[in-house]
Structure 1
Amino acid sequence: METGISRRGLFGAGAAAAAILAGAPATARAASGLTLRWWGNNGWEVRIGPKTILIDPWPTRFKTGTYTSAGADPRTPLSVNRELIDGYLDRGLLRADHILVTHGHYDHLTDVPYLAQRTGATVLGTETHLSLMAALGAPEDQLAIATGGEDLTFDGYSIRVLRALHSATGTRARVAFPGTRTLSRRDRPRVIADLLEGGTLAYQVSGGGASVLDFGGSNYVESELAGLRPDVVLVPPGGAKVTEYVPRLLRALGNPRYVAATHWDDFDLPLGRAHDPNGGLEVLRKAVAAASPGSEFVVLDHLGEFTP
């Protein structure tokens, strides 16, 4: 089953959301108190009552050449579009109590230090992620280290941190911009190659009667998933080097009710232009349908919302 949910009101195409549920029974379902909004790439907003948790927010989306034949230029300077971010914050379209960082690459971490400054949010990440963010100006008293295994309870929601793996690509199954750095380092990252992967985490956020599990890359540690039964799992396309990437994942999670696509768009393009550059979305849709036909496949437009 597939759900396509589009909300384009912020981009001039009307304020109403369109929902298409293909092949699903026309039965009423009680909505949970958890709502997801997609900010492009692996950027997610999880709202639970008055609380907001952001995962890998990156509204700036500067050009790197990632989806060209040459690939991302490692010398691309880092930049933060503060005017754009301020506009979202000042209009109440963006806020955060927590910000969760899955890994240190530019398309996941670059905007987080400024968002932490503006929102006062607590930021979770590995030692490398926190080192990079502190060097980029994140308030250090808001940074909380995570290694995987943490199960944390807050006012109205909980966060479970899982050890995970980054996507592996190419004939040698290599990780882009690998490496780590210590918290004691304070040299400022200047180009995208300076933002090291630094270990990868996955997060399950629960509250409002529902839970969502996010992977920032197309790989995972299967043993970490034992006993997890999220209502929604956010899955990136890819995983060609991972044995039974989609079937094994969904089987380990008990075939979740919803599988939502993440990290599938061309992030050289600005928000409002969600484009699948290499057909990965269709490959993922077919893989989910084959592996777990009872799961609903959810695809959102930029700033689209979904309540499980």
Structure 2
Amino acid sequence: MSDGRTRFGRRGFLGASAAVAASLPGIPAAAGSPNATSPPNPRPRPKADVALRWWGNNSWEVRLPGGKVVLIDPWLTRFKTGTYAKAGADPNTRIEVNRELIDRLVGSGELRADHILVTHGHYDHISDVPYLAAKTGATVIGTETHLSLLLALGAPEDQLAIATGGEFHTFDGYSIRVLRSLHSASGERAKVAFAGTRPLSRRDRPRVISDLLEGGTLAYQVQSASGFAVLNFGGSNYVEGELAGLRPDVLLLPAGGDRVAEYVPRLLRTLGFPPHVVPTHWDDFDFPLDEPAKDWGGLARLRDAVAAASPGSAFRVVDHREVFTP
């Protein structure tokens, strides 16, 4: 590396820590303690009328009644970065977009979108969004930094909608709730990889992955008109207070979270023990989408943590491009 900038691996992006790699972030407190888990309170659940397709990493396609489609962090290009290798990602890796792949998927009708939701500005979440927005005509939601990056990468300005967290948008047959959230942090100093913000007025084009700043992190709940709700986090951390009262039917839960106190049990408890927990952001994205997903090392620990904290929640692993219908 010519400029000496730090490489980032899964520790930087997902908060994994070698010192706690052998521990389970989801083991509940002892029975009788204030933090102990309790059985979920049974309540009527809405009709399951949503289907989910996983495009790897935190890329999700949410199919809603009436043919509406919401994409979350769609990243199909998956250019090699070495993020999950021992040395970590080279910050000088150039940003690439596989336009041929996107043209084929959109042109064939296999992929479409009414909305694209950006959780944060890192390369594995935002790089393909400008071109996908232009091809699909979708409205894109993100923070000021995210929109600044998207504009600089060529996204249509009239398709961008700014969010700070707290917004609740209703559309024809579905709604989108925007939540303030947190990115994973790593190391003794709890640093966020490629941290920083940039104003909308800044239009210099990002060239390498370290130019794509985190820029604030959002979470999203997508809900059909029947009330069936899917909650997604793009990083393995959250703001507990933002989640009060939410009762998602499907939780898309990132692997990692080792630096977060009671990462899994606290979240599941706050959300009322969702009936479906689907892992996200667990595959090594240096491998292509047409191969089975390769675990970077956090999947088994996440599965064990969910089982310990909420035995009644079904833990459903979805493979690349597989459709999950709850």
Asked if Structure 1 and Structure 2 have the same fold, meaning a TM-score greater than 0.5 normalized by the shorter chain, the answer is yes
Partner of 1:140: 157
Q: Does residue 1:122 correspond to 2:139, yes or no?
A: yes
CA RMSD, Structure 1 to Structure 2 (Å)? 1.2
Instruction: Please name the residue that 1:38 is paired with.
Output: 54
Alpha-carbon offset, residue 277 of structure 1: 4.0
1:47 to 53, 63, 66: 63
In structure 2, which of residues 173, 182, 193 is the aligned counterpart of residue 156 of structure 1? 173
2:95 is the counterpart of 1:78:
yes
Which residue of 294, 303, 306 corresponds with 2:312?
Answer: 294
Shift of 1:272: 2.3
Q: CA deviation at 1:247?
A: 0.3
Aligned residues: 280
2:268 aligned counterpart, secondary structure: helix
Q: Find the counterpart in structure 2 of residue 12 from structure 1.
A: none
Map of 1:264 onto structure 2: 282
Q: Which runs of 5+ in 2 are unaligned?
A: 1-44
- Matched ranges for 1:203-222 at <5 A: 203-207=220-224, 209=226, 210-222=228-240
TM-score, length basis structure 1 = 0.89
Task: Quote how far apart the aligned CAs of 1:30 are.
Answer: 9.6
Q: Is the 8 A contact 1:43 1:55 kept in 2?
A: yes
> Runs of 4+ in structure 1 displaced over 6 angstroms?
none
State the 1:121 CA deviation: 0.3
User: How much has 1:208 moved relative to structure 2?
Assistant: 5.0
CA separation of 1:251 and 1:187: change in aligned 2, threshold 3 A = same
Aligned: 1:195 with 2:212 = yes
The aligned residue for residue 107 of structure 1 is 124
Q: CA deviation at 1:91?
A: 1.3
State the alpha-carbon separation in 1 of the partners of residues 225 and 249 from structure 2.
12
1:66 aligns with 2:97: no
1:179 aligns with 2:207: no
Aligned residues of 1:265 and 1:274 also touching (Cα < 8 A): no
Give the TM-score of the pair, scaled to structure 2.
Answer: 0.84
Tell me, in whole angstroms, the C-alpha distance in 1 between the residues paired with 2:295 and 2:243: 30
Work out the CA distance in 2 between the residues paired with 1:299 and 1:284.
11
| Identical pairs, percent | 72
Q: Which residue of 2 aligns with 1:283?
A: 301
Alpha-carbon spacing, 1:278–1:265, altered in 2? closer, same or farther (3 Å): closer
Contact 1:34-1:208 at 8 Å conserved across structures: no
The residue number in structure 2 matching 1:273 is 291
CA distance in 2, matches of 1:38, 1:278: 17
Name which of 112, 131, 137 aligns with 1:95. 112
Write 1 or 2 for the structure with the bigger share of strand: 1
1:111-151 per-residue CA deviation (whole Å, 9 max, x = no partner) reads 00000000110000000000000000000000000000001
Distance in structure 2 (CA, Å) of the matches to 1:176 and 1:59: 21
